[in-house]
Structure 1
């Protein structure tokens, strides 16, 4: 956009300076947008107008840009996506800026996207919807329970989640993406985590000082999805200090947790019982599983591998 100061200098260069200034002022004050402002504030004095000419010029020029809007990306206004509103503030003409409808739409889309977060999960999962789910008979019950959860979830009031069990490639993660999109429409935040990669990163986070920050993010998500639990290499520390801490907090705060796994409850308990020291810690594994079982409904997902060609 041509700076206002440059326009003023061009006026000064004219030989008939006063005549040109008077003409520009008259054109400015006769502009319909400026006239509407002056009619709205009937107590505007000539002195206020004289002192506020630059702001009135900015108001007129940028509002005309808005009337001939070239689109948000090509917006020529000084503050892209914002339009000025002329007001009287403390006895002077001033400008307040507010986001235009296009800017508000973009910000709303960003806000909606912030409601859906993922760690290490393919972005296409976040585009899943219940309309795009495989409606085959084998997945009908699982789809129905997924939709029922998405429509009734109430984080902070009801902490019951789902445990989706099924073989590789039957669409468990896709269903979770559909749940997230349905939750988004209800303005409920969700976070999906690919569990093996998340646990690996938590080990590294000890060294770089980000462990507690990352742990808190997962603990406090309104709806948490732990995708492919059981595929990780388990250790006592991961089981007790990471997974155990997450589940304990979410249980106390009534925050729903959903799981997908190739293991059923019993198989996952066996997996969690193994220790990196080579021993079996059945009691500690059982404690974790009691939390998972108590706060999830087991859902079997059947069907053939959707990834097979």
Structure 2
């Protein structure tokens, strides 16, 4: 008798469990997210019964998304991903796709990677055409800058710009605006402050990173050499660094942009001198022929903004 009573209790307990499971099933299938997803795919009752765990996972993940706490605090199993119910090989399964926040974060990361810099102030890297002081003195330079951004085709057209003008007239800010606009077009740019870059290239010989750094600059879709002519020149810098960069970019039709306080003739004279006191006019002329042929000379004028 005792064993029969125990069996009856167990049977009653199992029946209650079965009822609870059925109620949970009905509640799950009535959920708006689950019902809406299942209505869109041809799925059998057997597949639903076999896929209840997947459906439960789908429901929980979608409600996490509905009450999103932000990408960094995302509670989903795959942070930043949303599930989608699919029916494949007669079974319910889930596919995960990037959510809108994940896509934004990935896009922002990609955008950051598109604009690289060396030794350039942060305010230059955030410059835009909207915030620039586009007065009459800078009208021509601004127009040329915008034309370049709109028409830039690295790999097809290697024509760049040469912004010449005195200190503080906004040459570098214009280049920063160009780099940011190129980023919006998903065109990679590399903007470097030339004197510090050349100095680092000398030091990189000792640590074995010279070729890696040289290749990184050589291969940028758009290269901006800021303040060329302000460096202490040497035959090695001129021929093995600057010359190598320009030669590669010329052959690959990659645009190079420059800012300088020197015009073409003054820069050629600067490049002819070496730190040892010699004059090498022919080598300087070779460099300048590449610069002249592949850039449009643009005079940037106006008041010195730095003096304000």
TM-score by length of 1: 0.88
| CA distance in 2: counterparts of 1:70 and 1:16, whole angstroms | 37
- Pick closer, same or farther for the CA change 1:121–1:41 going to 2, 3 Å: same
Per-residue deviation, 1:15: 11
The SS at the match of 2:77 is coil
| CA distance in 2: counterparts of 1:303 and 1:15, whole angstroms | 88
The SS at the match of 1:28 is helix
| CA distance in 2: counterparts of 1:184 and 1:42, whole angstroms | 44
Mapping of 1:45-56 within 5 angstroms?
45-46=45-46, 48-56=47-55
| CA distance in 1: counterparts of 2:20 and 2:183, whole angstroms | 57
Give the match for residue 167 of structure 1.
166
Give the match for residue 245 of structure 2.
246
Per-residue deviation, 1:256: 1.0
Give the match for residue 23 of structure 1.
23
Give the match for residue 33 of structure 1.
33
Give the match for residue 107 of structure 2.
108
Of 178-187 and 158-167, more deviation after overlay is shown by 178-187
TM-score by length of 2: 0.88
| CA distance in 1: counterparts of 2:49 and 2:204, whole angstroms | 61
| CA distance in 2: counterparts of 1:31 and 1:284, whole angstroms | 76
- Pick closer, same or farther for the CA change 1:42–1:254 going to 2, 3 Å: closer
The SS at the match of 1:233 is coil
Alpha-carbon deviations, 1:2-50, whole Å to 9, x = none? xxxxxxxxxxxx995444333322321222222233333334342x334
Give the match for residue 6 of structure 2.
none
Give the match for residue 44 of structure 1.
44
| CA distance in 2: counterparts of 1:15 and 1:198, whole angstroms | 78
Residue correspondences, number = 295
Contact 1:227/1:260 (8 A) holds in 2: yes
Give the match for residue 7 of structure 2.
none
Alpha-carbon deviations, 1:256-289, whole Å to 9, x = none? 1110011111221122112233311111111111
Give the root-mean-square deviation of aligned CA atoms. Answer: 2.1
Per-residue deviation, 1:170: 1.2
Give the match for residue 274 of structure 1.
273
Give the match for residue 198 of structure 2.
199
- Pick closer, same or farther for the CA change 1:206–1:67 going to 2, 3 Å: same
Give the match for residue 298 of structure 1.
297
- Pick closer, same or farther for the CA change 1:15–1:117 going to 2, 3 Å: farther
Per-residue deviation, 1:292: 0.7
Q: Unpaired runs of 5+ in structure 1?
A: 1-13
- Pick closer, same or farther for the CA change 1:138–1:38 going to 2, 3 Å: closer
Q: Unpaired runs of 5+ in structure 2?
A: 1-13
Contact 2:43/2:87 (8 A) holds in 1: no
| CA distance in 2: counterparts of 1:213 and 1:163, whole angstroms | 26
Contact 2:159/2:255 (8 A) holds in 1: yes
| CA distance in 1: counterparts of 2:23 and 2:15, whole angstroms | 14
- Pick closer, same or farther for the CA change 1:136–1:30 going to 2, 3 Å: closer
